[in-house]
Structure 1
């Protein structure tokens, strides 16, 4: 048996390097922030509006308590101010300033604080974790959302055996509108389910994001692949049972963008990419024409009306009011605060005050006018441009033009495609988790445009360790 002695010529064996406890705590904290942000409606339904506001406020204060001392320790190294997502920050600043002319100043202050909180947390995550760690944290957060959704649906169907109201209030004896329920007890009867987020459309969108994140982790060579496949099956099950037409459109958009990215990566010369761009432009025009002229048949097949389930009437009502202040808008409020006099009873859907315009661009125009629309266009144009070439270009920082593509690099452009598609029928991309993804990816791509390369990137760890050696 080999022994260590004074004559040994090799160094003594040592344990493999372990991650610092502080950084493990940081990753766990980021998972908590992501969970609370993506499942904020679950927190709202659990502890009410005051409790959910306190929860997000405590998390933001904790984020600043962690981040500010870390920034102070970096001196004299300067913070990379030039790499901040300035278009997104300009939109946030304009939203906060709009309290000066807002038609609902209290709602502007409340939702402005929410927007600022989400922005701060997104910037913190982008600055604190590597690309690999961000995607792992997203995966962990979605596992919690899916797992708790399954447990809640099972508990309601097998134990409670009745629909569940928010805050665990007792259901009244008389029949009420199903839209008031947190969980409708549809798991075993084939109806649409809501999960812990309490909304079928939101649950379906989150399931698509989860499938994208899990798929990227699989492609990156993550360990515990069997577990990942099980989570993907659960996400696909929830996606089907949620029955969301908006999510179906988002899934198609994500699939088309993924195929395009893979084709672009296979192109050997610029001319091949040009032909792909032209072909996809022609297909897009034909598809849009088909959807527009055949919308009655298409929406009937999806179980929706040709007016997009009342959305056309909502858009018309919102645009009419927006025309009163077309340049700087009526004042920021995302979401609309339903108890504010400016929104209470204005637009009702099944007896519930609508809290957004069901279109992100109509919503921005209504709240912040043409100036807000220009800032939002600049934000998304910058993100689309950077995320697209982040996905389709080979990692390169010297003369070596043959490095392997990173599987993780496709995630931002896929999720941006999802947000833009969802934004046609919902306002989710401009608030809560939608806005967090915009700021997070905008900041991270500008700061670290190559996965695994740069001073801020750490070891290539994916789901417990590298399955195979990654390209530098």
Structure 2
């Protein structure tokens, strides 16, 4: 005869453990820092150079105030593994500081090297205290703020203000209309559905907005994939799909030729990585490598031989909208000191006499070389090119195997792939492509992301689905 018992064979059902408030606060702070870094020109246009500098300094102090006590109170078994710091990136930062000894613009070198060190620290801070899942979630929320903010800002200017606005809301005499490149936002978001005047968003720059929208598409798509695989509710799937669609539409309206090329590169890399995941043998992987290399070589050859036609299809001249003239001036000056360069300054400080009026484009002093390799050649010479190549080479190498090697965390066999493991690889390749016509990947938010990914790939070399990290010496 069956009897009731106080000792059931199964464990009692328990509610899932609530996330600690401290960790929620850490994520909120990380999101704010990411928004401030990715949309740095928003703060520059809103607060001016002095206000933006104060904000950057305040965030560095706040990060140290959070991070140092966290390092001090960790148990010995979970202490930070200092050998897993991104030493190549740190050597590059050290070289930037050392260049003040021979710099042609020492004040600019000290200032911008300090900014570079600050963004490097923020990247390592994220990698140390956040899991892979947290990093991608924080990036997702930060990019959502930029996507939504750009849409609302453009709509406000188009529907309420009804005329373009300048940085810092300077008054403008619209009878004598200034150059379009001076504007923060022109309010033309509703002029056309797909093809029309380019939008600039809260960042005030169409090329920067286009790259941020590409990053948003990458991150939003990965999070959507996580939701589909993880059986997230239909409402959340629809919401994530709408975010992908809005970011993609704003990507098109930004009209950046560089980011269109970056999209092609990112899509190709994603396809190769997904095919590589299905290759179970060494022979199969070798076949994928050879095929992908052949296609890449042919594609690059076609792009070079038909460059004028490709540029025309992208709505650009063969001179890449004046970049040829900028590059020629940079190469001429860099050739004077080809080994160690003229001194670090990323970005160029436009009020420094060495840069003020040196290269003028659309009546504005240029503050970057619009090619990160030429920029580092100007600043740190051939030595700087080697160091930057090592940094990005390390990032690509680690991110590639992070994306295509199945995690092996249990003795039974490989664990399932997480969609999140593709995010570092695709973002690094997007930055490398952007670096052909812009210098962002070697400074500010671009450098912060690379520093973060290199560090996290060393601390947590695998992430399985659903979002369980293989951590090495990290408290996340």
Q: Please tell me the TM-score bracket, short chain as reference.
A: over 0.9
CA gap of 1:396–1:6, structure 2 versus 1, over 3 A, is closer
Give the match for residue 269 of structure 1.
281
Partner of 1:16: 16
Pick which of 393-402 and 82-91 moved more: 393-402
What secondary structure does 1:334 align onto? coil
Following superposition, the deviation at residue 226 of structure 1 comes to 1.2
**Could you tell me which residue of structure 1 aligns to residue 471 of structure 2?**
454
Contact 1:95–1:332 under 8 Å retained in 2: yes
Give the alignment's TM-score, normalised by structure 2.
0.92
- Among 175, 183, 188, the residue aligned to 1:181: 183
- Judge which range, 137-146 or 367-376, deviates more: 367-376
Q: Distance in 2 between matches of 1:393 and 1:411?
A: 14
1:128-163, CA deviations, whole angstroms, 9 ceiling, x for partnerless residues?
Answer: 000000000000000100111111111100000000
- CA–CA separation in structure 1 for the residues paired with 2:6 and 2:289: 66
- In 2: Cα distance, 1:151 partner to 1:458 partner: 38
Deviations 1:430-453 (A, max 9, x none): 011110111000000011101112
Counterparts of 1:212 and 1:69, CA distance in 2: 34
Secondary structure of 2:185's counterpart equals coil
**Counterpart position of 2:167:** 166
- Indicate if the aligned counterparts of 1:394 and 1:401 stay in contact, CA closer than 8 A: no
Q: How far did residue 227 of structure 1 move?
A: 1.1
Give the alignment partner of residue 376 of structure 1, picking from 388, 391, 397: 388
Matches of 1:6 and 1:352 in 2, distance apart? 82
Of 319, 325, 328, which residue of structure 1 is paired with 2:337? 325
Aligned residue in 2 for 1:199: 205
Q: Give the deviation of 1:14 after TM superposition.
A: 5.2
- Tell me, yes or no, if structure 1 residue 125 matches structure 2 residue 126: yes
Give how far 1:6 is off.
11
* 2:367 is the alignment partner of 1:355: yes
Which residue number in structure 1 is paired with residue 84 of structure 2?
Answer: 83
1:130–1:456 CA contact under 8 A, matched in 2: no
Q: Deviations over 1:407-431 (max 9, x none)?
A: 1111111111111111111111001
> 2: CA distance between counterparts of 1:456 and 1:134?
17
Aligned to 1:432: 444
Contact 2:219–2:423 under 8 Å retained in 1: yes
Match of 2:466 in 1: none
Matches for 1:300-311 after TM superposition, within 5 Å:
300-311=312-323
Shift of 1:399: 4.4
Give yes or no for contact 1:186–1:192 (8 Å, CA) kept in 2: yes
Residues 303-353 of structure 1 deviation map (CA, whole Å, 9 limit, x = unaligned): 111122221221121011011111111000001111110101111110011
Q: Does the 8 Å CA contact 1:207/1:235 hold for their aligned counterparts?
A: yes
| Bigger mean CA deviation after superposition, 97-106 or 439-448 | 97-106
Deviation larger for 432-441 or 277-286: 277-286
**Distance between the aligned counterparts of 1:218 and 1:15, measured in 2?**
26
Residues 342-398 of structure 1: per-residue CA shift (max 9 Å, x gap): 101111110011111111111011100111111111111111111100000000145
**Structure 2 residue 216 is matched with structure 1 residue 215:** no
- Alignment of 1:143 onto 2:150: no
Of residues 221-230 and 42-51 in structure 1, the stretch that sits farther from structure 2 once superposed is 221-230
In the aligned structure 1, how far is the partner of 2:237 from the partner of 2:80? 38
Query: Is the CA contact 2:116–2:444 (under 8 Å) kept in the aligned structure 1?
Result: yes
| Cα distance in structure 1, aligned partners of 2:285 and 2:475 | 33
- Counterpart in the other structure of 2:426: 414
Where in structure 2 are there 5+ consecutive unaligned residues? 464-468
Question: Is contact 1:182-1:194 (8 Å) kept?
Answer: yes
Structure 2 counterpart of 1:463: none
TM-score w.r.t. the length of structure 1 is 0.93
Q: Distance in 2 between matches of 1:52 and 1:339?
A: 16
Structure 1, unaligned runs of 5 or more: 460-472
Cα distance, 1:74 vs structure 2: 1.9
Q: Provide closer, same or farther for how the CA distance between residues 456 and 129 of structure 1 changes in structure 2, counting only shifts above 3 A.
A: farther
- SS of the counterpart of 1:197? coil
Label 1:13 to 1:413 Cα distance change in 2 as closer, same or farther (>3 A): closer
